[in-house]
A and B are shown apart, each in its own frame.
Chain A
């Protein structure tokens, strides 16, 4: 297993595009997470009355335990960047035909796929750890109450965030294996949310109960949008086991479809 991860990392770590995209991704994770207060100040300046009716300094954006859900939700938006990196990594194997040579050299198709999946796991873990550290630091800076049980209520958003990123990267990997062309697959990845939105909106009137089972919807549902609570609205401030279940099934299916496709295709 570890050997397979090492093989894929060997391919990536000398690839400049990988460092640029990953660097940008992790850098954006940092800056986007850390700039929340500035964003609120900007909102207060631009939106009439925003700063008056709610004092922005009293919005506990970075306070424990709100910070966990706030930051995991916000960083969830950036997973598209790392998804594009995954697409480039897999479609390169097709355009360079190196996937063929890897198999000739003695990897099985399954091992090849596992090496890519393990890299996805690693990228998801790194994203999770980074966001955890950012949330921990900002939380420690802003929060006044620092007893452990209070601080760490809501850390279940981290495994949920991990699953969110990993499920999405599995989706990207599958897309790359089916489409095999980098440009086309990136456009499809960017459009997949819109395509799903169109379908969702059109079936909303007939079978609204189905919507939570949609693949990208189920990934987004893992960490629900938290910010409405600052407008005194009821939000889901926990990870629902149902959404975890649905996302897990999709994650398994994405990787299984990749496996079936790889197994059957002539490379």
Chain B
């Protein structure tokens, strides 16, 4: 797989604030890469640097293995934060202008308008559009040059549930066509539904990166409680225990690969301990996200 984006030690300070701190990241071709993080964690600053609008304090990044240039940016479709267009121009004219900037044929315009279902309103002024239509026009504009990479920053921000579903559907369609997508969001559900890989940023530091598929699978966590005093020793002596934590008066056992809740149950029973509480936790991305953020304190 070809490396689309490679970030090395990218840093941005705004005065004393370290917005992004020594970020290293690789995105491979065909991935739908989610960038997660709470507000103010440096997602937009990072994407701003990747798209040439924010000057990095230090560090490098390479698109398609090359030094970034305006010409390379034309091969990338990007919507950062909210959609930005000339309010007094129609959707059509805004796209015509963007086609001139990206130096791509004007014939692409009807196609992308069709994809985001804006063809009917194309001649209305941008300022008359609803938020959802603005977001869709932004996606249309990002797709104008048939880019191989698409960057979307909070594409569903402020949309109603229907709008969110529409945008998600569009992202799925685009992902299915084999494009690489970098999606920044704080909506974890969103990322879990569409992304293949994700990274978590916190106060400008990357605290985790990996495939989304590992979230549900991989290590299993089991909540246990029983009326015995040395329960923690017993649990630690279980060969399937990877680590042990306490939470709300219960023990949290993180299992080694191949071990499950029922194995722990049988082990306890063999030790003549009857659990009063035994629940296998289903891990969501949200759970993992909060865990990662908590660990990285």
Contact = CB atoms under 8 A, between A and B. Distances in A.
B84 interface: yes
A107 B69 CA distance: 9
Nearest to B93: A14
A53 interface: no
Contacts of B52: 103-104, 108
B95 to A, nearest CB: 11
Given A106-B70, A106-B71, A11 B86 contact: yes
A264 interface: yes
Interface string B83-103: 011111110010011101111
Interface stretch (A2-10, A130-138, A182-190, A232-240): A2-10
B53 A7 contact: no
Nearest to A100: B53
A107 B101 contact: yes
A267 B93 contact: no
Contacts of A58: none
A220 to B, nearest CB: 35
A11 B53 contact: no
Interface in B27-82: 48, 51-55, 69-71, 73-74, 78, 80
A3 to B, nearest CB: 7
B207 to A, nearest CB: 25
Interface string A79-108: 000000000000000001110111111111
Interface residues of A, number: 25
A266 B54 contact: yes
B104 to A, nearest CB: 10
Nearest to A17: B88
Contact of A10 (B54, B71, B100): B100
Contacts of A11: 86, 89, 97
B139 to A, nearest CB: 13
Interface in A1-53: 3, 6-7, 10-11, 14-16
A182 to B, nearest CB: 14
Given A7-B101, A102-B101, A106-B73, A266 B53 contact: yes
Nearest to A3: B100
A111 interface: yes
B89 A266 contact: no
Nearest to A102: B101
B78 A104 contact: yes
Contacts of B87: 96
B100 A100 contact: no
Given A7-B101, A98-B84, A105-B102, 18 more contacts: A6-B100, A7-B100, A15-B88, A96-B86, A97-B84, A98-B85, A100-B53, A101-B84, A103-B70, A104-B73, A104-B80, A106-B70, A106-B73, A106-B74, A107-B101, A108-B52, A264-B55, A265-B55
Interface of B: 48, 51-55, 69-71, 73-74, 78, 80, 84-90, 93, 96-98, 100-103, 141
Interface of A: 3, 6-7, 10-11, 14-16, 96-98, 100-108, 111, 264-267
Closest 7 CB pairs of A and B: A106-B74, A101-B84, A108-B70, A106-B73, A267-B53, A104-B51, A105-B101
